[in-house]
Structure 1
Amino acid sequence: MIRTIRRYPVITASTAVLTTVLVLAAMGATSAPRWLATGYVGVFIVWTLVGMVRDVLRGHVGLDILAVVAMIATLAVGEYLASLIVVLMLSGGEALEDFAGRRARRDLTALLDRSPRIAHVVRSDSADSDEVEDRAVDDVAIGDVLLVRPSEIVPVDGLLLTSSGTFDESSLTGESMPVSREAGGEVLSGAINGTRAVRIRATRLSADSQYQQIVALVQGAQDSRAPVVRLADRFAIPFTAIALVLAGTGWALSGDPTRFAEVLVLATPCPLLIAAPVAFLGGLSRAAKTGVIMKSGAVIEQLAGVRSVAFDKTGTLTEGRPDLVEVRPAEGFTADEVLLLAASAEQYSSHVLAEGIRRAALDRGLQLLATDDASEVATNGVEAVLNGRRVVVGKPAYIAALAPETHPAILGPGEAAAYVAIDGRFAGVLVLADDPRAESSRVVAWLRMNGVERITMLTGDAHPTATSIALQVGIEEVHADLLPPEKVYLAAQLHPRPVMMVGDGVNDAPVLAAADIGVAMGAKGATAAGDAADVVILVDSLAKIVDAVSIGRHTLRVALTAIWIGIGLSIGLMIVAMTGTIPAVAGALTQELVDLATIVYALRALGGPPSGLPAPAPPGAQAHVAASQGA
């Protein structure tokens, strides 16, 4: 009770004044109730006007003018009870919005409330040790062995040491079914352990772990303000004009100034001001529940109107896990020699092809070499000195600048190549294949069928590889061999707007930040792309793009409909009030029901229809489509 009073002091004061006025009136007093109500409402009017002036100085002309005129009019005609109810209604609108907002953001808040705070650190690395000490999760170091008891939240990212375990990852991915992990498998922070105590070895600090990264994104989304001001302002001036015209007409036709006040108490702006924020919070919450974090409410409005989409290739349209299919050594080198030196150099690269090269070398039993002399040249390749030999792995143009005899490799559909130079000589080519995601073609088809007019690929990969993948997923416009600045330039030139860019790599960060809507595939951990993006997809599925756009459109539709419901009901009631059948006090109370109707409707943003992503094509159909497009 005390907490509520402190949270809503204006409501408390207004209720106290209204109660006192009613008691005094019941006791037969005449002037005291009027003066008390007039004084209190007068103070509230001045306070509101000060806020309006501040808003005007910031370039925002809002709807409070209607409330101020209504309060002045009711006082002028002696309807001081109605003026108090208007004050209570306006302050009560804040409470209603707060209540509905908490309901709408419940899934966002649940993520924050569940953030792990304590970790059970095993005192010894011995598998038989049962001694643990509780530490704050921020104090866990990489390499610490942690005990996670049944039904506890995994505190940091780690590798499973126990033979097997079952985890609920629904708060991370939206997937309701528990997942099983074997020894050596990655366990993400925020997952809930099953019925068996397990041990994990921490691989990331708390601040870098998956769940804490999600919490940081959610906190930013929760703290952001939806584009309520802009949305309400679209209706502010016309609605104010209509209300004043109706009130003035009622006065002119009746010759009674009371009619002006009776009409205006039904024109207070709460429905316009409350509906949009509640709907946008509901949309943010629904998105978070499905594994899509939108960093601000403004993103929802952009997603709802997206007209162009640009995709990166590797890790976005494709699985992002390329496998080595062939080593083509140049004359004077052996396949194992080229693979060993290239894989050893790729230990110091973050490029997605590097992992596939390293994995292939280890699978062949090759022991990778270490060095202190290695560096990565962003978007071009990696250099390293290994056993006295200078090894460079990268793009063909980069390698050709070092070894002029470099010649381009002939690649098959969906294949990519890493070129290798050793001691300034062209040493060979490593051919890798990265298949398209199973859902990529269906996502592209859904976007095209749902109002997206232009779909393109912006990638740094070679043109033949990019074209092959684009053909398989149904994209006709391809821009390949791009450096990050070129991606930014092309994204800026895309029309129609708004433009959504989807990527996952570090080199995608600039274009994600520059696009109208940047979407990062963040399921594999925090990256610079995730920091730069407006939307982060926590599930390793491109289908969430469809969910994000669908939620954005549904949320904006709900917000606008709720606003129109409020406007329609208010105008209808004002027209009735012009006849004098709704007294000022009854009108002020009726307006509370309009507020409630708009809020109830705005909460529909928490639900909504399914995304409608087409079902997977029958086997062979995708190849048939690709062949027909190629023809």
Structure 2
Amino acid sequence: MKIVLRYPLVAGTLLVLLAVVALLAAGQEGIAQAAASIYALAVAAYLAIGMVRRLAGGQWGIDILAVTAIVATVLVGEYIASMIIVLMLAGGTALEDYAAGRAKHELTALLERVPQTAHRERNGTSAAGNHTAEAHTDGQHEDVAATDVDIGDILLVRPGEVVPLDGVLLSDSGTFDESSLTGESLPVERSAGEGLMSGSLNGEAAIRMRVTARMEDSQYSRIVALVKEAAESKAPMVRLADRYAVPFTALAYALGAVGWIISGSPARFAEVLVVATPCPLLIAAPVAFLGGMSRAARSGVIVKYAGVLEQLSRIKTVAFDKTGTLTYGRPALVAVRTAGTLSEDEVLGLAASAEQYSSHVLAASVMDAARSRGLPFGAATEATEFATHGVRARFDGQDVVVGKPAFVAEWASGVAETDLASGELAIYVGTGGEFVGSLVMSDPIRKETRRTLSELKALGVNRTVMLTGDALATARHIADEAGLTDVRAECLPPDKVEAVRSLPDRPVMMVGDGVNDAPVLAVADVGIAMGARGSTAAGESADVVIILDDLSKVASAVRIGQRTVQVALQSIWIGIGLSVALMVAAAAGYVPAIAGALTQELVDLATILNALRSLGPGRHGAVSTARAREGARRAPLPG
């Protein structure tokens, strides 16, 4: 009954068709013809009204072929063919829904697994003081809505349950299936103190965790929001189908007229139009693009709009941020060099106290280094971050400045640049108007960087560029390791924007992960945010979000875009080619109307099945995926 209500035209057509067959069996051919003809003309009138409305809105479609085919077959007495055409058009909607559902499977699977409840420990008061529980409780835990859980709450995650929010593992160890987030089929082991991603599936043992982000800020919720946006976007190649509508329609009418003139029978005109119905053009491209987006989601790449896949397929230049993109973005403290009477711990403690008010990726590394030495953080009375330069904070009436040497020199005297080895960078510290020392950090290049650049070149990317706010020496070292020749260092956010706008080989793709990358991600033809640890601002500005900490997914995104467009175009041309061949055969009198209507249904099916190939990686993609997984198993973890 649900199917009947969802597809009433299909149900009605089947009912009328059965009645027509029954009338023919009873010898009532005249009544059967009248019933079929009236029903088919009513459907044609319904389609014509919709077609006129779209034409009034300036949108040209190819429904006119279907309307003409129905009317023509009724006029020449091929009423069974007219019923098959109606059934084919009605069934096309159901077929499209099925194909779209199959293509969007990975997207909808993510949405269906959104955690709704959490088992919170009853240990007094939650982080926000709000402990309203639902009816179910086991004495030690209470079931609450996931949206009511606060940062700091302790949760129990039972075996086989989805981790509801981002957090830190409190149990000694745990095993988690992160395939819905990362695309990696193998379960991962986590130890106490390691982070847990919401949306991952707990293994065979119950675990305890401390929540570090509310529901709306958790990784899974961010992914779900992106997926909803992606699922609702329209495929750009619908425009391509519309572009072909006029010449395809003109060709159909011309071949029909030729067949009519040669044969002297108007039935020949109807037979040509029967095989010219436009379902392949209307369905194939959208299904291919939905399949490509689903394939990307399964690989840990969220494409926010279907049109981005078309842009990805044509990328000629890729610009990269350095820290957190080409490198791991987790710089480690190598040394503390003092320049005055303060000790190493005092210099590091001052720097960490100021850096807690900075959003720069290096700030977290400085604070981690201070915590590892057990150093306390001071509370500032005021603090200001100067994007890409540094931070200034006031403690007990005294300014502390941390950042680049030129920035620190504006507030402190005696700044002397420290000697650095290749791949090292320095953070300078001043207080009370005097330079007191520097922190030497090192951020290694990602193991997959060189391979990613090679894959991009193989995919047709002509130019790769590094855009970074770091010093030239540090940037040049990373560029040499990665194999990049175009390096633009000490760039402020406006400099990056101008650099991307000036790059000649278009389209240009920008890859970054920080707050400072948000403007340049927005102006690039395609912006890709490394979203595993990247900022919300970068993710919102980007067209593509990579939810894994894996740079090779950039090449995967380009490859999926190219394959999607290839499959979409191939599906369209298969539909056009088969339809044209059938039209020529019908014009020559080799395809009767009923046979033509049935054959056209097979063309629709072949076209859609081909479009669903965009769900797969293709031969080259499968080989690349296998190599990447093998490399991931053999390579040591960073740090």
* Counterpart secondary structure, 2:410: helix
Q: Are 1:8 and 2:7 an aligned pair?
A: yes
Where in structure 2 are the equivalents of 1:300-311 lying within 5 Å? 300-311=309-320
Cα separation, 2, equivalents of 1:53 and 1:480: 58
Cα separation, 2, equivalents of 1:406 and 1:398: 10
Contact 2:522 / 2:542 at 8 angstroms: preserved in 1? yes
**Equivalent residue letter for 2:88:** M
Task: Provide, for residues 471-524 of structure 1, a one-character-per-residue CA deviation record: whole Å limited to 9, x for no partner.
Answer: 110111112222222222221222222111111111111111221111111112
Change (3 A) 1:54 1:419: farther
Contact 1:546 / 1:613 at 8 angstroms: preserved in 2? no
Q: What is the match of residue 625 of structure 1?
A: none
Match of 1:494 among 482, 500, 503: 503
Deviation at 1:50, TM superposition (A): 3.3
Where in structure 2 are the equivalents of 1:464-483 lying within 5 Å? 464-483=473-492
* Counterpart secondary structure, 1:152: coil
Cα separation, 2, equivalents of 1:397 and 1:50: 70
Cα separation, 2, equivalents of 1:125 and 1:492: 56
Cα separation, 1, equivalents of 2:299 and 2:161: 22
Q: What is the match of residue 626 of structure 1?
A: none
Contact 2:513 / 2:534 at 8 angstroms: preserved in 1? no
Q: Are 1:91 and 2:90 an aligned pair?
A: yes
Q: What is the match of residue 285 of structure 1?
A: 294
Where in structure 2 are the equivalents of 1:1-150 lying within 5 Å? 2-29=1-28, 32-124=31-123, 131-150=140-159
Q: Are 1:609 and 2:619 an aligned pair?
A: yes
Q: Are 1:198 and 2:207 an aligned pair?
A: yes
* Counterpart secondary structure, 1:402: coil
**Equivalent residue letter for 2:232:** D
Cα separation, 2, equivalents of 1:372 and 1:109: 48
**Equivalent residue letter for 1:515:** A
Contact 1:421 / 1:428 at 8 angstroms: preserved in 2? yes
Cα separation, 2, equivalents of 1:374 and 1:446: 44
Task: Provide, for residues 190-235 of structure 1, a one-character-per-residue CA deviation record: whole Å limited to 9, x for no partner.
Answer: 1111111111111111111111211111121112122231231343
Where in structure 2 are the equivalents of 1:308-327 lying within 5 Å? 308-327=317-336
Change (3 A) 1:388 1:70: same
Deviation at 1:332, TM superposition (A): 4.8
Cα separation, 1, equivalents of 2:264 and 2:467: 68
Q: Give RMSD over aligned pairs.
A: 2.3
Task: Provide, for residues 92-131 of structure 1, a one-character-per-residue CA deviation record: whole Å limited to 9, x for no partner.
Answer: 11111111111222122211111111111111179xx961
Deviation at 1:525, TM superposition (A): 6.0
Cα separation, 2, equivalents of 1:241 and 1:330: 82
Contact 2:514 / 2:534 at 8 angstroms: preserved in 1? no
Identity level (%) = 56
* Counterpart secondary structure, 1:236: helix
**Equivalent residue letter for 2:577:** G
Contact 2:509 / 2:527 at 8 angstroms: preserved in 1? yes
**Equivalent residue letter for 2:619:** P
Q: Are 1:260 and 2:259 an aligned pair?
A: no
Q: What is the match of residue 390 of structure 2?
A: 381
Cα separation, 1, equivalents of 2:344 and 2:110: 50
Task: Provide, for residues 315-372 of structure 1, a one-character-per-residue CA deviation record: whole Å limited to 9, x for no partner.
Answer: 0000000112232333454433221101111112111111111122222332222234
Q: What is the match of residue 637 of structure 2?
A: none
Deviation at 1:28, TM superposition (A): 4.0
Change (3 A) 1:610 1:147: farther
Change (3 A) 1:137 1:107: same
Contact 2:170 / 2:208 at 8 angstroms: preserved in 1? yes
Change (3 A) 1:51 1:475: farther
* Counterpart secondary structure, 2:223: helix
Cα separation, 2, equivalents of 1:461 and 1:59: 51
Change (3 A) 1:352 1:307: same
More off after superposition, 444-453 vs 379-388? 379-388
**Equivalent residue letter for 1:17:** V
Contact 2:174 / 2:190 at 8 angstroms: preserved in 1? yes
Cα separation, 1, equivalents of 2:365 and 2:19: 77
Contact 2:413 / 2:433 at 8 angstroms: preserved in 1? no
Contact 1:523 / 1:540 at 8 angstroms: preserved in 2? yes
Task: Provide, for residues 72-94 of structure 1, a one-character-per-residue CA deviation record: whole Å limited to 9, x for no partner.
Answer: 32233232332222122112111
Change (3 A) 1:260 1:437: same
TM-score (norm 2): 0.91
Cα separation, 2, equivalents of 1:461 and 1:512: 18
**Equivalent residue letter for 1:609:** R
Cα separation, 1, equivalents of 2:267 and 2:410: 86
**Equivalent residue letter for 2:44:** I
* Counterpart secondary structure, 1:369: coil
Contact 1:210 / 1:526 at 8 angstroms: preserved in 2? no
More off after superposition, 370-379 vs 110-119? 370-379
More off after superposition, 129-138 vs 608-617? 608-617
Q: What is the match of residue 621 of structure 1?
A: none
Cα separation, 2, equivalents of 1:484 and 1:46: 58
Cα separation, 1, equivalents of 2:139 and 2:355: 40
Match of 1:462 among 456, 471, 483: 471
Deviation at 1:236, TM superposition (A): 2.2
Task: Provide, for residues 446-480 of structure 1, a one-character-per-residue CA deviation record: whole Å limited to 9, x for no partner.
Answer: 21222111111112222221122111101111122
Q: Are 1:249 and 2:258 an aligned pair?
A: yes
Change (3 A) 1:414 1:46: farther
Task: Provide, for residues 144-175 of structure 1, a one-character-per-residue CA deviation record: whole Å limited to 9, x for no partner.
Answer: 11111111111111111112111111111112
Cα separation, 1, equivalents of 2:437 and 2:535: 34
Deviation at 1:25, TM superposition (A): 4.1
Match of 1:585 among 583, 590, 594: 594
Cα separation, 2, equivalents of 1:125 and 1:158: 20
**Equivalent residue letter for 1:74:** T
Contact 1:210 / 1:525 at 8 angstroms: preserved in 2? no
Match of 2:585 among 556, 560, 576: 576
Q: What is the match of residue 305 of structure 2?
A: 296
Match of 1:406 among 400, 415, 419: 415
Cα separation, 2, equivalents of 1:575 and 1:7: 36
More off after superposition, 253-262 vs 560-569? 560-569
Change (3 A) 1:185 1:33: same
TM-score (norm 1): 0.92
**Equivalent residue letter for 1:506:** V
Cα separation, 2, equivalents of 1:30 and 1:480: 83
* Counterpart secondary structure, 1:166: strand
Contact 1:411 / 1:464 at 8 angstroms: preserved in 2? no
**Equivalent residue letter for 2:277:** T
Change (3 A) 1:222 1:537: same
Q: What is the match of residue 131 of structure 2?
A: none
More off after superposition, 223-232 vs 56-65? 56-65
Deviation at 1:593, TM superposition (A): 0.7
* Counterpart secondary structure, 2:438: strand
Match of 2:427 among 411, 418, 427: 418
Cα separation, 1, equivalents of 2:381 and 2:211: 25
Q: Are 1:164 and 2:163 an aligned pair?
A: no
Cα separation, 2, equivalents of 1:234 and 1:458: 39
Q: What is the match of residue 627 of structure 1?
A: none
Q: Which runs of 5+ in 2 are unaligned?
A: 126-137, 632-639
Q: What is the match of residue 132 of structure 2?
A: none
More off after superposition, 49-58 vs 231-240? 49-58
Q: What is the match of residue 522 of structure 2?
A: 513
Change (3 A) 1:580 1:441: same
**Equivalent residue letter for 2:85:** V
* Counterpart secondary structure, 2:268: helix
**Equivalent residue letter for 2:454:** A
Task: Provide, for residues 285-315 of structure 1, a one-character-per-residue CA deviation record: whole Å limited to 9, x for no partner.
Answer: 1111111111122111111111111111100
**Equivalent residue letter for 1:184:** G
* Counterpart secondary structure, 2:590: coil
Cα separation, 2, equivalents of 1:252 and 1:180: 75
Q: Which runs of 5+ in 1 are unaligned?
A: 619-631
**Equivalent residue letter for 1:415:** E
